């Protein structure tokens, strides 16, 4: 069978410029997909190593902060309790009782805070080699970069029902 120049559907060949353009677009999609897969693998590895470190830092920060605050209050007013490696419960007994539960979500490295009318998610973000958390909370409905110190203060403010 002989192929003659002309339009497709008339037994002719497809325009060579179009073929090159289509091929380049498909190759671009393949390359983008491969880059996305590499980034996902990288981000997963960074999260797997960095998120537990940050969780440990937050737990230490909260434990020390509660000890400092408790030293200025009647015994048992503010309490810190680890309920296993992935969960902290904070209690405040000042007039009324309030509880806040802080949970480390191993699967994605997030940290969730719930209780006393406060719900927040500290979501891990990776930009290049930088790992940090973004705050998404039910009160302000905003997302912003947040430090361990600020995370701890949010948690303590929630359990103490303290508004700065």
DSSP for 107-153? TTTEEEEEETTEEEEEEEEEETTEEEEEEEETTT--EEEE-HHHHHH
pLDDT at 11 over 70: no
Question: Average pLDDT of 59-69?
Answer: 96
pLDDT at 113 over 90: yes
Question: Average pLDDT of 51-76?
Answer: 94
The span from the CA of 158 to the CA of 96, in Å, is 13
**What confidence tier does 1 reach under pLDDT thresholds 50, 70, 90?**
very low
Architecture of the domain made up of 50-160? 2-Layer Sandwich (3.30)
In this prediction, residue 100 carries a pLDDT of 94
Q: Which residues pair with 121 in a beta bridge?
A: 112, 136
**What confidence tier does 138 reach under pLDDT thresholds 50, 70, 90?**
low
Question: Average pLDDT of 124-131?
Answer: 86
Domain ranges of the chain: 50-160
Instruction: Tell me the pLDDT tens digit for each residue of 140-162.
Output: 566 678 999 999 999 999 898 86
In this prediction, residue 137 carries a pLDDT of 62
Question: Average pLDDT of 79-103?
Answer: 92
Which residue has better confidence, 2 or 27?
A: 27
């Amino acid at each position: 069978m002989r192929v003659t120049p002309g339009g497709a559907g008339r037994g002719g060949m497809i325009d060579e410029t179009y073929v090159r353009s289509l091929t380049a677009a498909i190759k671009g999609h393949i390359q983008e997909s491969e880059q996305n897969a590499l980034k996902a693998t990288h981000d997963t590895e960074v999260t797997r190593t960095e998120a537990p470190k940050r969780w440990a830092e937050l737990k230490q920060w909260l434990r020390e902060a509660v000890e400092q605050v408790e030293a200025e209050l009647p015994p048992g007013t503010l309490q810190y309790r680890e309920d296993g490696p992935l969960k902290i419960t904070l209690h405040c007994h000042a007039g009324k009782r309030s509880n806040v539960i802080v949970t480390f979500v191993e699967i994605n490295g997030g940290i969730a805070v719930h209780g006393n009318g406060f719900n927040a998610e500290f979501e891990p973000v990776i930009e290049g080699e930088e790992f940090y958390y973004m705050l998404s909370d039910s009160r302000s409905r905003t997302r912003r970069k947040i430090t361990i110190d600020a995370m701890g203060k949010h948690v303590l403010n929630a359990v103490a029902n303290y508004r700065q």
